[in-house]
Amino acid sequence: MDLEFWNENVELMKREELDKLQLERLKNTLINVYENVPFYKKRLDDCGVNPYKFSSFEEMGKIPFTTKEDLRLNYPFKMFARPLDKIIRIHSSSGTTGNPTVVAYTKEDIAMWGDAIARQLFALGLRSGDAIQNSYGYGLFTGGLGLHYGIETLGAIALPVSGGNTERQIKIMQDFKPAAICCTPSYALYIAEVGKEMGVDFSGLSMKAGIFGAEPWTDVMRMEIEQRLKIDAYDIYGLSEVMGPGIACECTFKNGLHISEDNFIAEIIDSKTQKRVPKGKIGELVFTTITKEGMPVIRYRTKDLTNINYDVCQCGRTHARMAKTIGRSDDMLIIRGVNVFPSQIEEVLMKIKGIEPHYLIVVDRRNYLDYIDVWVEVSEDIFSEKMNTLEEFESSIEHKLYSAIGINIGVKLKEPKTIKRSEGKARRVVDMRKGEKP
Ligand code: DLL
């Protein structure tokens, strides 16, 4: 295979050189936040880390974590490390509970972000001349503009369609002939469904790749999307507090997401003890930005669970790879003492023939006991079968869920197209114990 790189010097850097670069950049970042963000000055003084004498990853371990709550308490601009006349962009999370979190970027930060994403798009095979349909939402959400600048930095053609209006998305695919699409994996499935209804043959279109992220999705879901849209589906990861999309992304080998290690230091901690776990073990991802100027974050707890592989990838790139996330620690359901992640349920469901990749997990309490039901759509042909066959089908799925997960999960088969489709991040869990409604 012909291996090409966007920036060979950075992408193939030896581990010792990377470590050195990270420490140097981390020191500069610590000095930046110490001088410019009162919150971090106090934090560093309290833990006894002097940024001017900072020298090792061990010492980094003494610095307390930054949490979403810290950002909320400093809402809106108190975490900025640059005066407002140096900030050229602000993004923000949706903030369904409490203050949203705010992120600020200088001109250099925007350039770094664009370059990080351009490198990733290049690594999964896109080049100048390729049109890329960007169906992530444009706005305060980082998906739209984040990918947009990456596409332009690559020198490819940005099609800034944003999310929604699915029939128009398909018309653009047919007429503008994009080489790739960027959107959430759940929206990709919806596009495939609408396309099928319109009689579109995706194998006849020009698309070869999809860049999907912003929500957890399993490898079985990947296979489903690849087969329906006739593309290669790649995983891109990020979170607004740290930058947005592009913190990590898969290369053509689809064997873990390369973390942009010249811009971020990743650590994995045990959420309970808050200690670093041994290399390769699963735990909570923690990120420190080492090139961002406008609003660096130090040891930001993402709540996303994964593990990191430091082996050199088959593609030759040395930057470590995070595994697809299992989900967020706060999405973990504890049902009668057993921990269950929505992704585990998805993994079982997606392997069963006759059901569609549209499901909703409903959690409730009955007679003081918590239980989970999964609503899942069956395909048209199965649905028209007799009632007793459907009941048997339900029990067989329940059985499969029980063998894989170890608790009883009720299954309710639903008519095709009755579960709400998503144009952005899918809502997979409804917790009736908290008063939520399906
Ligand atoms: O979702 C940024 C983004 C946009 C990433 C477009 C990828 C593509 P937030 O809205 O701040 O930012 O949400 C961040 O979404 O902590 C994860 O829990 C989840 N997430 C993002 N990417 C992935 C992924 C954007 N590839 C939160 N796999 C993160 C699993 C993901 N979860």
| Probe target for ligand 1 pocket from 91, 187, 285, 325, with the most ligand atoms within 8 Å of CB | 325
| pLDDT at residue number 1 | 52
CA of 107 to the centre of ligand 1 (A): 23
Residue 95: Cβ within 10 Å count? 14
The closest of 52, 421, 357 to 223, measured between CA atoms, is 357
**Cα–Cα distance, 73 to 273 (Å, whole number):** 24
> Which of 239, 271, 305, 328, when mutated, tests ligand 1's pocket best, judged by the most ligand atoms within 8 Å of its CB?
239
Predicted confidence at residue 96, as pLDDT, reads 63
Residues across the chain: 438
Assess whether the C-beta atom of 150 lies below 6 angstroms from ligand 1.
Answer: no
Residues 342 and 361: their CA atoms lie apart, in Å, by 8
Which one is the CATH code of 333-434: 3.20.20.80, 3.30.300.30, 2.40.420.20, 3.40.50.300? 3.30.300.30
The Cα–Cα gap between 201 and 228 comes to 10
Decide: 189 and 225 in contact? Cβ < 8 Å.
yes
Q: What stretch(es) of the chain map to CATH 3.40.50.12780?
A: 1-329
**Long-range contacts formed by 46-53: CB under 8 A, 24+ apart:** 51/27
CB 300 within 8 A of CB 292: no
pLDDT, position 382: 83
Cis peptide before 83 (omega within 30 of 0): no
User: CB of 237 closer than 6 A to ligand 1?
Assistant: yes
pLDDT of residue 95: 63
Contact 207, 173 (CB under 8 A): yes
Ligand 1 pocket check for 215: Cβ under 6 Å: yes
| Pocket probe mutation, ligand 1, options 124, 142, 264, max atoms within 8 Å of Cβ | 142
Which regions of the chain carry the CATH code 3.30.300.30? 333-434
Pocket test for ligand 1, best of 103, 237, 428 (most atoms within 8 A of CB): 237
d(C-alpha 243, C-alpha 67), whole Å = 15
CA of 326 to the centre of ligand 1 (A): 12
Position 389 scores a pLDDT of 85
| Tokens describing residue 404 | 């894989």
Rg of the chain on CA atoms, in Å: 22
Sequential pLDDT tens for the chain (438 residues): 558 999 999 999 999 999 999 999 999 999 999 999 999 999 999 999 999 999 999 999 999 999 999 999 999 999 999 999 999 999 998 766 678 999 999 999 999 999 999 999 999 999 999 999 999 999 999 999 999 999 999 999 999 999 999 999 999 999 999 999 999 999 999 999 999 999 999 999 999 999 999 999 999 999 999 999 999 999 999 999 999 999 999 999 999 999 999 999 999 999 999 999 999 999 999 999 999 999 999 999 999 999 999 999 999 999 999 999 999 998 899 888 899 999 999 999 999 999 999 999 999 998 888 999 999 999 888 877 776 788 999 999 999 999 999 999 999 999 999 999 999 999 999 999 999 998
Tell whether ligand 1 has an atom less than 6 A from the beta carbon of residue 166: no
Alpha carbons 386 and 384: distance in angstroms, whole number: 7
Taking the centre of ligand 1 as the mean of its atom positions, its distance from the CA of residue 363, in whole angstroms, is: 23
CA 238 / ligand 1 centre spacing (Å): 5
Res 353: pLDDT:
93
> Which of 298, 239, 295 lies closest to 79 in space, CA to CA?
295
Q: In whole angstroms, give the CA distance from residue 135 to residue 167.
A: 13
Whose alpha carbon is nearest atom 27 of ligand 1?
239
235 ligand 1 Cβ < 6 A: yes
152 Cβ neighbours under 8 A, 6+ residues apart? 114, 158
CATH, range 1-329? 3.40.50.12780
Q: Tell me, yes or no, if the pTM score tops 0.85.
A: yes
- 215 CA from centroid of ligand 1 (Å): 5
256 lines ligand 1 (CB under 6 A): no
Q: In ligand 1, which atom is closest to the CA atom of 303?
A: 16
| 3-class SS letters over the chain | CCCCCCCHHHHCCCHHHHHHHHHHHHHHHHHHHHHHCHHHHHHHHHHCCCHHHCCCHHHHCCCCCECHHHHHHCCCCCCCCCCHHHEEEEEECCCCCCCCCEEEEEHHHHHHHHHHHHHHHHHCCCCCCCEEEECCCCCCCHHHHHHHHHHHHHCCEEECCCCCCHHHHHHHHHHHCCCEEEECHHHHHHHHHHHHHCCCCHHHCCCCEEEEECCCCCHHHHHHHHHHHCCEEEEEEEECCCCEEEEEEECCCCCCEEECCCCEEEEEECCCCCCECCCCCCEEEEEEECCCCCCCCCCEEEEEEECEECCCCCCCCCCCEECCCCEEHHHCEEECCEEECHHHHHHHHHCCCCEEEEEEEEEEEECCEEEEEEEEEECHHHHCCCHHHHHHHHHHHHHHHHHHHCCCEEEEEECCCCCCCCCCCCCCEEEHHHCCCC
Q: 233 CB less than 6 Å from ligand 1?
A: no
Q: Which residue puts its alpha carbon closest to atom 30 of ligand 1?
A: 216
Residue 336 near residue 369, CB atoms below 8 Å: yes
CA-to-CA distance for 435 and 363, rounded, in angstroms?
A: 10
304 lines ligand 1 (CB under 6 A): yes
